[in-house]
Structure 1
Amino acid sequence: MTPVLRHITREEISAQLSHTALLSPVRQAMIAYSAGKATSAAQVLFPASGADVHIKSAVLPGAPIFTVKLAGWSERLKADTGNGHSGLILVCDSRTCQPLALLRDGHLISDYRTGAAGALAGHSCLSAGAVDAALLGAGTQARHQVQALAQLREIRSLRIWARRPEAAKSLAAALQAELPASRVSVEGTPSEAMRGAGLVVAATAARAPLFHAEDVKPGQTVISVGGDDEIKCELPPGLLSRADKVFTDSLGQARAYGNAARALSSGLAEAELGMQELGAAWASNDRLRNSERQVIVCSLTGLGVQDLAAVSTLFNWETPRTHSAPAQKTG
């Protein structure tokens, strides 16, 4: 019996997605990964100038499916269509390894599960109560970070900075409409946006740190979700070395990609960073802040097991549809 390959469109996927639905599955997937119960491989390719493709796969013991994702970004695609993201996820039967479905999500699942991971990280590293937040970036992922966080915390105020002021103003207007009880404003520099914020979220494609280590003050939590390959970096190495706690989703990927990789290549020893995986920390404690003055940094690179958790949540894969192989003609 050969499974019928389902072709699932972005529209079908969008109808099933919500930030709230992915919070618990993403958290549990990250705990399983840190416990060594999941296999999650990642590779970044650069097929042309101004283009990259992230290939991430994941297997969880006992899960009826495993996934292989291609998530791309292209400057040419962005110039042509206004959206540089592309992507698809192949879903396979864990027992037979046969393809079951092709999800043409166009990066949508990556956007939602990254929003969930960032929100969970911020929520666990903040003191109790409403939060004053700073958002560095005004793209799709920046919006998802705020939308997901709003499912877990009251956002009292939100100050936005982006390299393109018009993008920051547009996002501010959209988020103000979604969060009418919050005070949403646009700031001229990252340091101005960060001043007085309990939570700083960086969601950009920056290739160099967005601010100086001394811009981060005691008591602040900094979440970075943009440093996910060998080129990108949002945080200064000095911040990782002076932070009281540094968390990541994957120690292996952190050594190769993003902020921690840049810090290590600058000459800092891994022991100076003191990195811990969020999944390991969550397995024993939901609250990761021990004092009001701690500086906590979470540098996230994205896990294939998060994609698997999202896809498993969206659709039922227990009883895939099949059809018989065609009968052979006889002469």
Structure 2
Amino acid sequence: MPEIKILTETDLRSAISLDADAVACIENAFQLLATADVVMPPILSFHVPDHNGEVDVKTAYVPGIDSFAIKMSPGFFDNPTLGLPSLNGLMVLFDAQTGIVKAVLLDNGYLTDVRTAAAGAVSAKYLSRENSKTAGILGSGVQARLQLEALTLVRGIKRAVIWGRDADKTAECARDCARRLGIEVTTGSITDVMAQADIVVTTTPSGKPLITADMMRPGQHITAMGSDADYKAELAPCVIPAASLFVCDRLSQSIKQGELRAAIAAGTVANPDRYAELGQIIAGQKPGRKSASDITVCDLTGTGVQDTAIATLAGVRAEAARAGTAIHS
């Protein structure tokens, strides 16, 4: 019978990290989404309101990638009060030719963290000003740290400003980022972040908008990656029409459960089909930033192509390192 590799979070952390290869992997996935006959069904998503939780299932078949992944990703946002992480889950990696299970990746959300941060780097690479030096982060959790680290891979970030709801956690996040990245990191209000940052990344599960149009400055780029369900919104409905350019990872997802949803409901966006996807800009099919004064906004809801791409890379790396435990089905 076929051999199945069981890979633990420890195995996967040894095999893959947030680096230039991970960013290139996700960049290629976005481009394939725009140029290849990708099969990517809508996200299966449901809310667990009694426990402030949600569960997402994502997948995609991507021509040119020899495997596909199905990811099951719970997010329970009160878990830190119980001493548990907010995110966990796993991925199952299948052979794209035969459909045989190749590996079970018990990553506890680690690969999702890496691919999400890498997507933020790709967004900044294609939409922010090349001379961007100051980053702003809304949020103080794992993804806040990773998004800032990801920005340093594509831009010459020298300093950062972080806002979070919990002052102590935000201060610790700032100290941790400064220590690991070797840059100046301070804390401040959302207004402070927006007034100082060339690139702003929102990383929260907020159900109420955090950024309004009057906070944005010419030349600024904003990546919103927290709104991935129909009860979340980090951008006020006035933000998208006020931007010079709005881009999303997947238009249908942004309309249903991303930042476009709230704008459409509020009546500030009437024809969402005109907006570009990130892969189309990477592939040169649609224009990106046109001038240094443009205000650009990117909505990242998370796509199955990212999960297939990062899981395949992790599987290849783990196989080369002879990591994991083999079982026979």
Cα-Cα RMSD: 2.3
Confirm or deny: 8 A CA contact 1:241 1:272 kept in the other structure: no
Give distance in 2, aligned partners of 1:324 and 1:25. 30
Return the index of the structure with the highest Cα Rg: 1
Distance 1:47-1:127 versus aligned 2 partners, 3 A rule: closer
Q: Which residue of 2 aligns with 1:107?
A: 109
Give distance in 1, aligned partners of 2:77 and 2:197. 33
Confirm or deny: 8 A CA contact 2:65 2:309 kept in the other structure: no
What is the one-letter code of the residue matched to 1:217? R
Confirm or deny: 8 A CA contact 2:241 2:269 kept in the other structure: no
Give distance in 2, aligned partners of 1:156 and 1:86. 32
Q: Which residue of 1 aligns with 2:127?
A: 125
Q: Which residue of 2 aligns with 1:292?
A: 292
Alignment of 1:203-214 (within 5 A): 203-214=203-214
Distance 1:3-1:78 versus aligned 2 partners, 3 A rule: farther
C-alpha displacement of 1:79: 3.2
Q: Which residue of 1 aligns with 2:3?
A: 4
Confirm or deny: 8 A CA contact 1:78 1:85 kept in the other structure: no
C-alpha displacement of 1:268: 3.1
Among 53, 56, 80, the alignment partner of 1:54 is 56
TM-score by length of 2: 0.91
What is the one-letter code of the residue matched to 1:8? L
Q: Which residue of 1 aligns with 2:13?
A: 14
Alignment of 1:176-215 (within 5 A): 176-180=178-182, 182-187=183-188, 189-215=189-215
C-alpha displacement of 1:72: 0.6
C-alpha displacement of 1:131: 1.5
The worse-fitting range, judged by mean Cα deviation, of 69-78 and 112-121 is 69-78
Distance 1:12-1:65 versus aligned 2 partners, 3 A rule: same
The worse-fitting range, judged by mean Cα deviation, of 171-180 and 269-278 is 269-278
Give distance in 1, aligned partners of 2:150 and 2:60. 23
Confirm or deny: 8 A CA contact 2:280 2:286 kept in the other structure: no
Distance 1:240-1:3 versus aligned 2 partners, 3 A rule: same
What secondary structure is seen at the aligned counterpart in 2 of 1:96? coil
Give distance in 1, aligned partners of 2:117 and 2:123. 10
Give distance in 2, aligned partners of 1:118 and 1:92. 26
* Unpaired stretches in structure 1, ≥5 consecutive residues: 326-331
Deviations 1:152-175 (A, max 9, x none): 112121011111111110010011
Q: Which residue of 2 aligns with 1:266?
A: 266
Deviations 1:67-94 (A, max 9, x none): 1000111245433333121100011122
Q: Which residue of 2 aligns with 1:144?
A: 146
TM-score by length of 1: 0.90
Give distance in 2, aligned partners of 1:322 and 1:123. 39
What is the one-letter code of the residue matched to 2:187? V
Q: Which residue of 2 aligns with 1:329?
A: none
Identity %: 26
Give distance in 1, aligned partners of 2:165 and 2:11. 33
Confirm or deny: 8 A CA contact 1:132 1:157 kept in the other structure: yes
Give distance in 2, aligned partners of 1:226 and 1:324. 39
Confirm or deny: 8 A CA contact 2:124 2:154 kept in the other structure: no
Deviations 1:149-199 (A, max 9, x none): 11111212101111111111001001111222x221010x20112113211
What secondary structure is seen at the aligned counterpart in 2 of 1:210? coil
What secondary structure is seen at the aligned counterpart in 1 of 2:293? coil
Q: Which residue of 2 aligns with 1:218?
A: 218
Give distance in 2, aligned partners of 1:324 and 1:306. 28
Give distance in 2, aligned partners of 1:30 and 1:159. 29
Give distance in 2, aligned partners of 1:322 and 1:85. 26
Distance 1:162-1:75 versus aligned 2 partners, 3 A rule: closer
C-alpha displacement of 1:219: 1.3
